[in-house]
């Protein structure tokens, strides 16, 4: 072959072996990556409450007129400090928003709330006339952020590669 050739055999490079080992470590023990993803998703959920929309950007249905009246009158709950603005959907006591958590268990990331009514609002309850107002799920922005976090963690794993 005419011209200049660079023949690089990566198998012989110690730093390459180290980079591969670090990538294997990341894949075998993804807890740090999943923790970063969990933190990012908490911010995303909080933004959904601000925008009052589901992961696909679809606005939550407003509360029923009956419930709006009870909420405005401060009769929707006996707890003090309750939100009385009917426009603040899913925020009567703010517990659903405040008590959203994530948990990393090995190779699994869970995000949600232990509030019983979280499932009611996520999936709806047609028998009681409560529409689904999803809070949890992945938006396109979430997917992009997760991809960026994966790239950052892989970059960290191979940072010392020449």
Domain containing residue 85: 13-157
> Considering the entire predicted model, what is its pTM?
0.78
The answer as to whether 1 is a domain residue is: no
DSSP state of 80: T
Does residue 36 form part of some domain? yes
Q: Is residue 7 part of a domain?
A: no
The answer to whether residue 140 sits within a structural domain is: yes
| Residue at 116 is within a domain | yes
pLDDT in tens, the chain (162 residues): 556 666 555 555 566 677 778 888 888 888 999 999 999 999 999 999 889 999 999 998 887 767 666 666 665 555 656 555 555 666 656 777 888 999 999 899 999 999 888 999 899 999 998 899 999 999 999 999 999 999 888 888 777 555
Residue 112 falls within a domain, yes or no? yes
Contacts 24+ apart (CB under 8 A), 27-30: 30/107
| Residue 108 tokens, joined | 């699994």
List of E strands, the chain = 100-105, 108-113
3 lies in a domain?
A: no
Number of structural domains found in the chain? 1
């Amino acid at each position: 072959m005419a011209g200049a050739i660079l023949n690089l055999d990566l198998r012989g490079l110690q730093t390459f072996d180290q980079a591969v080992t670090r990538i294997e470590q990341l894949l075998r023990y993804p807890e740090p990556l999943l923790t970063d993803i969990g933190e990012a998703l908490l911010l995303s959920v909080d933004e959904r409450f601000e925008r009052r929309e589901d992961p696909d950007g679809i606005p939550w249905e407003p509360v029923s007129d009956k419930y709006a009246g009870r909420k405005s009158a401060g009769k929707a709950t006996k707890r003090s400090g309750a939100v009385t603005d009917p426009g603040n959907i899913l925020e009567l006591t703010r517990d659903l928003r405040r008590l959203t958590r994530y948990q990393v268990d090995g190779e699994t990331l869970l995000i949600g709330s232990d509030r019983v009514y979280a499932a009611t609002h996520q999936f709806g309850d047609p028998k009681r006339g409560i529409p689904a107002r999803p809070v949890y799920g992945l938006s396109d922005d979430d997917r992009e952020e997760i991809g960026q976090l994966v790239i950052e963690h892989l970059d960290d794993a191979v940072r010392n590669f020449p």
